[in-house]
């Protein structure tokens, strides 16, 4: 049985991948989710593998 935190972490990871792939509507989502994603260590370690390579 998963703990509530584990479920939350999975949701944040999946939603974070959609966010960084540009699949979520609205510009607010990036700013609103940046802090919680950092808090669970998502984009600190894995943002490079889901972020588009368009940035120069």
Between CA 41 and CA 13 the distance in angstroms is: 10
Residue 55 lies in a domain: no
- pTM of the shown model: 0.23
Q: Name the burial class of residue 2, with classes exposed (0-12), middle (13-18) and buried (19+) by CB atoms within 10 angstroms of its CB.
A: exposed
Residue 8 binned pLDDT confidence (cut-offs 50, 70, 90):
low
Q: What domain range includes position 32?
A: 4-50
Residue 56 lies in a domain: no
Q: Are the C-beta atoms of 46 and 20 separated by less than 8 Å?
A: no
Residue 30 lies in a domain: yes
Asked whether residue 16 carries a pLDDT value surpassing 60, the answer given is: yes
């Amino acid at each position: 049985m998963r703990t509530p935190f584990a479920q939350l972490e999975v949701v944040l990871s999946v939603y974070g991948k959609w966010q960084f792939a540009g699949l979520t509507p609205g510009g607010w989502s990036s700013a609103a989710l940046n802090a919680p994603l950092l808090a669970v260590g998502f984009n600190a370690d894995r943002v490079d593998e889901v972020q588009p390579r368009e940035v120069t």
